[in-house]
Structures are given as structure tokens and as C-alpha cells.
């Protein structure tokens, strides 16, 4: 019975991230509209958009290969698995042993690889521009993410997220400059990886600046629905990751029971609400930067991660 209960809790985690991802995207859009003194769409609009896309017929270009048709499912699967590995309401899940930060980076890197290939497959100029820009961002964001992982691993002694969350709950951790630098760097990487302002604007289709939208312009129907859902999952993943590592309060531990899981779920919903408000507030208070300044933005994230690692080495050698 214990095994069945553990599998049920793990399944609830996978369903929870899948169900909440469009809601979180809708919440951010609604909050941005309200901050700009507009009414904005309903927070449930992303669900309607996904259902509408699923009902539409798929239109493929004549020169589309099998890779173009398969890529949306591979991107969605890799992103869903990565999002399900991040502890949201509990830490002692069945697959906690595999919830490793490096594994999550690898899964997201695989999704990026297939998305870039799909953008190049049709052979359009927009797809090529978007793929080249996406890979440029990836080559800068992934080293910054690795330095953040090094910083966290030096503090905690592990790269497993469940271990990190439980370590951060210990009162002796306290405030550390290196953790603050890692948090700022992780937020910057999350903004770049999710194509948010100031790096990219997912609400526009300006050919001179768009990155993510340029790669998916040729998709339609259920293929586009898979990519849009994967994009929502990725945005929620980074918020859950930041909450798990830097604000793990409310997470249920192994064997604490249904009440603890319910409290953990409510706490996760609260963290998503706070994260959505901060993201909407940030995006409405800053302008989009030009593309050639993105390397400077991500270079700053890399330097912050490197500085956090060096500070830990220096403080331990004194």
C-alpha cells in the first residue's frame, strides 16, 4: 500500500504541474494587463487557446520532414519530465532521487535542441534567425546555470533538489552573500530561458527582435498546442525551482501525511501567485533590450554565479 500511495503522490505532482502551467501563464498576462490599466484576458484564456488549437487541423509545409512533426512531442515530453522533477508541494517523492539540477538542465537543453532543429527544418529565414538566436542564448545561459549549480552544491553538498530544499530549511543556513548572488543569477537565466522581457517579448512578432516566436511560426494545430504548453511548463518550472531552493517553506517531507501535502499545495499556489506578480511587475517596469545586448545580460549572470562560487572557496580557505 505504501508503494501505491507513493506512486499516487508522484502522479499528483505530475498532474499538478501540467494543470497549473496554463493558469500561471494566464495569471501573469492578467496581472500585466491590470498593471497597465487594461482589463486584459481571463486567467483561464490559455486553457481556451490550447483547446482551440487541439481542435484545429494541422497544416504542414511541403518540405517539412518527420523531425518537424515529432519535435513538438519531444519538446513537451522533456519539459514535462523536467517540471515534474522539481519538488512543488513535497520532497519525499518516488522520483526524488532523480530530481537533480544537472539532469533538469540536460532535459531543458534537449528540448531547446529539438526546438532549434525544428526551426531550421522548414528552411525559412525566420526559423533560421530564431534558431541561431536561441542557440546563442543557450550557449550563454547554460554556463551561467552550471555556475549557479556549483554555488548551490558547495553550500548544500548535493545537486539533488530535495536535499537542497531540506538543507535550506535548517535554521543554521542563514543569509549568505553567495546565495544572494546565485538567486539574482538564476532569475536572470530564467528570464532569458523563458524569452521574457527584457530579453524577448512573447507577445510580439517583430522580425528584428523575436527569438522563440520565430522558431514556431510554421506550427499550427496540436503541434503548436504542445509547444505552447511546453513553454508554459518551462516558465512554471523556473518559478518552482526558485521557490524550492530559496523559499522551501511549506514543503511536505516524506511520510508527513495528507494534511502536510495539502499545506504544501497551498504554499506552492501562494508562491506561484507571488512569483507571477513579481514577474508582471518587472516586465511592466522595464523595456526590451536590443538583441546584441543579450550577451551582456547573460554575461552578468555568469559573472554573478562565478563570483558566488569564488566567495565560497575564499570563505572556506580563511
Compute the distance between CA of residue 127 and CA of residue 116 in angstroms, rounded to an integer.
Answer: 8
Query: Which DSSP string corresponds to 67-121?
Result: HHHHHHHHHHHHHHHHHHHS-SSBS--GGGGG-BHHHHHHHHHHHHHHHHHHHHH
Q: Find the farthest-apart pair of alpha carbons in the chain and give their distance in angstroms, rounded.
A: 65
Name the CA radius of gyration of the chain, rounded: 20
Compute the distance between CA of residue 164 and CA of residue 151 in angstroms, rounded to an integer.
Answer: 12
Q: What angle do CA 99, 104, 110 make, to 5 degrees?
A: 145
Give the per-residue pLDDT at 19.
96
Compute the distance between CA of residue 111 and CA of residue 114 in angstroms, rounded to an integer.
Answer: 5
Domain that holds residue 236: 1-317
Q: What is the pLDDT of residues 237-276, one digit of tens each?
A: 999 999 999 999 888 887 777 899 999 999 999 999 999 9
Give the per-residue pLDDT at 128.
87
Instruction: Report the domain count for the chain.
Output: 1
Give the per-residue pLDDT at 314.
80
> Please, which contacts does 43-46 make with residues 24 or more away whose CB atoms are closer than 8 Å?
46/22, 46/228, 46/232
Say if residues 116 and 215 touch (Cβ distance below 8 Å).
yes
HEC secondary structure over 246-292: HCCCCCECCCCCHHHHHHHHHHHHHHHHHHHHHHHHHHHCCCCCCHH
What average pLDDT values come out for the chain (318 residues) when binned by 10 residues? 79 93 95 92 95 93 90 96 92 79 93 92 86 89 92 89 86 78 94 89 66 84 95 95 92 82 94 95 89 90 92 74
Give the per-residue pLDDT at 307.
92
Compute the distance between CA of residue 200 and CA of residue 210 in angstroms, rounded to an integer.
Answer: 6
Dihedral over Cα of 135, 82, 19, 161: its sign: negative
Residue 276, Ramachandran bin (φ over 0: left; ψ between -120 and 50: alpha; else beta): alpha
Query: What's the pTM value of the predicted model, to 2 decimals?
Result: 0.94
Q: Write out the H or E segment, with its range, that includes residue 46.
A: helix 45-55
Amino acid at each position: 500500500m505504501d508503494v501505491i500511495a507513493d506512486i499516487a503522490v508522484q502522479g499528483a505532482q505530475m498532474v499538478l504541474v501540467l494543470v497549473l502551467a496554463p493558469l500561471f501563464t494566464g495569471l501573469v498576462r492578467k496581472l500585466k494587463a491590470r498593471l497597465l490599466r487594461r482589463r486584459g484576458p481571463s486567467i483561464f484564456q490559455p486553457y481556451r487557446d490550447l483547446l482551440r488549437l487541439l481542435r484545429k487541423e494541422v497544416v504542414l509545409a511541403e518540405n517539412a520532414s518527420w523531425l518537424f512533426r515529432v519535435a513538438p512531442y519531444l519538446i513537451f515530453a522533456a519539459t514535462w519530465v523536467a517540471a515534474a522533477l522539481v519538488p512543488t508541494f513535497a520532497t519525499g517523492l518516488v522520483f526524488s532521487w532523480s530530481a537533480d539540477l544537472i539532469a533538469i538542465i540536460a532535459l531543458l537543453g534537449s528540448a531547446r535542441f529539438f526546438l532549434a532543429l525544428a526551426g531550421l527544418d522548414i528552411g525559412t529565414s525566420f526559423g533560421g534567425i530564431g534558431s541561431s538566436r536561441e542557440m546563442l542564448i543557450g550557449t550563454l545561459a547554460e554556463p551561467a546555470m552550471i555556475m549557479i549549480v556549483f554555488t548551490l552544491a558547495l553550500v548544500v553538498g548535493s545537486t539533488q533538489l530535495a536535499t537542497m530544499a531540506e538543507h535550506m530549511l535548517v535554521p543554521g543556513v542563514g543569509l549568505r552573500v553567495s546565495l544572494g548572488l546565485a538567486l539574482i543569477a538564476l532569475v536572470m537565466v530564467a528570464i532569458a530561458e523563458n524569452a521574457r522581457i527584457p530579453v524577448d517579448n512573447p507577445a510580439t512578432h517583430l522580425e528584428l527582435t523575436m527569438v522563440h516566436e520565430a522558431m514556431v511560426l510554421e506550427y499550427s494545430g496540436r503541434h503548436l498546442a504542445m509547444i505552447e504548453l511546453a513553454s508554459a511548463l518551462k516558465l512554471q518550472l523556473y518559478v518552482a525551482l526558485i521557490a524550492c531552493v530559496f523559499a522551501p517553506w511549506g514543503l511536505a517531507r516524506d511520510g508527513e501525511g495528507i494534511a502536510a501535502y495539502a499545506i504544501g499545495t497551498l504554499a506552492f499556489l501562494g508562491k506561484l501567485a507571488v512569483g507571477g506578480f513579481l514577474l508582471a511587475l518587472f516586465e511592466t517596469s522595464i523595456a526590451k533590450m536590443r538583441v546584441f545586448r543579450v550577451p551582456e545580460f547573460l554575461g552578468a549572470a555568469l559573472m554573478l554565479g562565478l563570483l558566488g562560487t569564488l566567495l565560497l572557496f575564499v570563505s572556506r580557505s580563511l
